[in-house]
Structure 1
């Protein structure tokens, strides 16, 4: 029961992080830290704590390198590392695949909004009044949204939904 409450709280924080990433292109450290604490609790409840922490430690240099080369933002890296213990270790590849597919969808949405806003400046002004479609830069993709979508898909799949 407590495991599902922790999953619900982590899901809420993931949605919050996605919204702040859309609006301000920022993922708060406190949200990532809380998600990590909740994911540790979930992995302990499953009995996979040690394996999950080894996975996080082994994956850290890979994501750090992606941050160094500006492929991912710092908030995205922290969020990905924080959510790894939320899913069973056997579903880790599936998690990354879900995040990647969601990332393609988010990037396409950003391209469409950018193209539409460049075609019509009045359309751009109306889009900026809508919180969900507010785009800070045409070259920026709120990848926190993709991370949240991928994790939510995997945790729902893990729960049998």
Structure 2
């Protein structure tokens, strides 16, 4: 029962973080921390809390390097590390594969949105809108969405849904 409540709360927070990542390309530290606490609670109810924490500690340097190389944003790295205890360790590769597949679809959607705007009958963007777009990275992908989708797929699969 406790595991179900914690998984539902973590799922809600994942959807919330995906929404804020879409809206402002921000994943809040407080949300990642709450997800991590809930994930540790889930791992504790499964009986592998220590192994899950060791997995996070072991994977931290890898994701730190990915952040240094600007492959992932800081919020994405924190969110990935926070969700690792939500799934059993033997499903970790499957989790990363689900996140990667979801990330591919999110990236394709991000590439398609500007193309759809070209074919609409809307007037050209104003100078203010163009300068606001230039301030953001041209290849900015809300990878928090992919993380949320990948984790939700794996937790549902783990629960037999």
TM-score of the aligned structures, taking structure 1 as reference length:
0.89
State the partner residue of 1:22: 22
1:39 aligns with 2:39: yes
Cα distance in 2 for partners of 1:66, 1:137 equals: 17
| SS of the residue 1:27 aligns to | coil
| Structure 2: 5+ residue stretches without partners | 126-135
1:10 aligns with 2:10: yes
1:140 aligns with 2:118: no
The Cα of 1:108 is off from its aligned counterpart by 0.4
- CA offsets per residue over residues 20-68 of structure 1, 9 Å max, x none? 0000000000000000000000000000011101100010000000000
1:114 aligns with 2:114: yes
**Counterparts in 2 of 1:49-60, with a 5 A limit?**
49-60=49-60
Distance 1:120 1:36, change over 3 A: same
State the partner residue of 1:66: 66
Distance 1:124 1:32, change over 3 A: farther
8 A contact 1:106–1:143 mirrored in 2: yes
The Cα of 1:115 is off from its aligned counterpart by 1.9
| Structure 1: 5+ residue stretches without partners | 126-135
Distance 1:83 1:123, change over 3 A: farther
- CA offsets per residue over residues 76-100 of structure 1, 9 Å max, x none? 0000000000000000000000000
What is the Cα-based RMSD across aligned positions, in Å? 1.6
| SS of the residue 2:122 aligns to | helix
Aligned residues: 151
Distance 1:101 1:124, change over 3 A: farther
The Cα of 1:117 is off from its aligned counterpart by 2.2
